[in-house]
Amino acid sequence: METGMDTRSATIKALDRIQERYGIDTDSGIADVLQTSRQAVFYWRKVGRVGSQRVLLVEEHSGVSRHQLRPDVYGPPPAGNLPKSSAFAAA
């Protein structure tokens, strides 16, 4: 099922939103917000995937769905929450 955003894009979008929301310009700042290490944030950027232990916290602070961040853990978004650009969205 196409969700409109791959995991890598969702991860970068989430980290960028956290930076914007809190006026942060470093991975250390993001790490402080997410209660993790700077190295973890760097790794997420590198591999394009948030660690499963921090997905819910990233979702809370970024607004990016856990289903977009880790579909391997949470599955695809529920049918009622598909992006408006999706072919399945109501016209």
pLDDT tens-digit map of 67-83 = 999 999 999 888 765 55
Q: Is the alpha carbon torsion for 39, 11, 21, 57 positive or negative?
A: negative
Burial class (CB in 10 A: 0-12, 13-18, 19+), 43: middle
Distance CA 8, CA 22 (A): 22
Distance CA 70, CA 72 (A): 5
pTM over 0.95: no
For the chain, give the percent of residues with pLDDT over 90: 77
